[in-house]
């Protein structure tokens, strides 16, 4: 598989999720009867579209295949009247995106570590059973919208429903949502994210919860450096850098969201 050649952590379920969310926004490039590249786009209302899974076989690089796939995805979003396009770029891919009109928004860092059982503070209350999550799902989606910058309830509902995904929501004594976090399987490591919270105390409580779900197991988390509290909770000293990413945007960024409440993203393929 292309993703194995590239050393990606995604599973087939990650592609299946994107296909279910936006079936007409998933593209495959073929050459001489074989699949040599992929790209996906997901529209979040008309506010912005997300580009993910941009992958070209090593033998077919520098032939314009990645550019072709990107242009195809951008045209698809433009036909849907989406006003901006976003993606998370590696340093190697940034130059291509610049030529297509993308500009930097902020930095992310993929950090790695192993889970461990740690105590969580008594406050906030952590809701994590499926029955309890179903009771707050509508409010969770409403809470997330301003943070992400658009309605991504389709993504959140899909993730929470998947049996392999572990999810937790922080609520205060009045039942108001203050944050949430998810942990899911990857091909080589677990992935922690999305991870959103109102402040560092809530973010830390959710982080401890996530680490305790996977004791001794390796994981990745893509830390949002636009949120200074995130860097403090997941310091490089204990969670080494695996790679850097640049969040980029093409078009007018009318709905940037609230990055200071984002501790970890949902993944480069989803935002």
Has residue 270 been placed in a domain? no
pLDDT for 60: 64
Domain count, the chain: 2
Residue span of the structural domain in which 53 resides: 2-106
Q: Spell out a b/e string for 105-118, using b for 16 or more CB atoms within 10 Å of the CB, else e.
A: bbebbbbebebeee
Residue 2: its pLDDT value, please? 54
The residue with greater pLDDT, 72 or 92, is 72
Question: Domain boundary residue among 106, 121, 151?
Answer: 106
CATH number of the domain residue 121 falls in: 3.40.630.90
Q: Does the residue 184 lie in any domain? A: yes
Give the model's confidence band at 66: pLDDT under 50 very low, under 70 low, under 90 confident, else very high: confident
Domain assignment present for residue 27? The answer is: yes
pLDDT of residue 142: 97
Same domain, 83 and 204: no
Q: Are residues 144 and 243 in the same domain?
A: yes
10 with 79, same domain: the answer is yes
| CA–CA gap between residue 262 and residue 260 (Å, rounded) | 6
The residue out of 106, 124, 144 marking a domain boundary is 106
Same domain membership, residue 96 and residue 125: no
* 146 in the same domain as 97: no
Average pLDDT rounded to a whole number, residues 68-84: 94
Q: Is the pLDDT of residue 59 over 90?
A: no
Residue 202: which of 183, 169, 178, 231 has the closest Cα?
A: 178
Structural domain ending residue among the three candidates 106, 127, 160: 106
Does 131 share its domain with 82?
no
Q: Is 49 part of a structural domain of the chain? A: yes
Give yes or no: residues 240 and 119 share one domain: yes
CA distances from 206 to 57, 77, 106, 167, 228 (A): 38, 34, 23, 10, 16
């Amino acid at each position: 598989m292309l993703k194995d050649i590239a050393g990606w952590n995604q599973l087939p379920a990650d592609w299946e999720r994107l296909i279910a969310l936006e079936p007409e926004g998933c593209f495959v490039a073929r050459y001489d009867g074989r699949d040599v590249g992929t790209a996906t786009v997901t529209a979040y209302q008309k506010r912005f579209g997300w580009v993910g899974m941009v992958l070209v076989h090593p033998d077919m690089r520098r032939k314009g295949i990645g550019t072709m796939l990107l242009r195809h995805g951008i045209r698809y979003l433009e036909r849907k009247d989406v006003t901006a396009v976003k993606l998370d770029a590696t340093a190697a891919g940034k130059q291509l995106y610049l030529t297509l009109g993308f500009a930097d928004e902020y930095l992310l860092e993929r950090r790695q570590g192993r889970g461990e059982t740690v105590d969580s503070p008594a406050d906030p209350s952590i809701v994590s059973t499926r029955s309890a999550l179903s009771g707050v799902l509508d409010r969770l989606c409403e809470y997330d919208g301003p943070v992400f910058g658009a309605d991504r309830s389709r993504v959140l509902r899909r993730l929470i429903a998947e049996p392999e995904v572990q999810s937790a929501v922080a609520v205060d004594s009045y039942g108001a949502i203050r944050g949430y976090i998810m942990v899911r399987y990857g091909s080589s490591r677990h992935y922690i994210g999305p991870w959103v919270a109102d402040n560092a105390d809530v973010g830390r409580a959710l982080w401890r919860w996530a680490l305790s779900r996977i004791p001794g197991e390796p994981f990745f988390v893509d830390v949002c450096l636009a949120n200074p509290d995130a860097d403090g909770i997941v310091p490089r000293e204990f969670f080494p850098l695996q790679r850097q990413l640049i969040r980029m945007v093409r078009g007018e960024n009318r709905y940037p969201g609230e990055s200071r409440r984002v501790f970890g993203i949902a993944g480069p393929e989803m935002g």
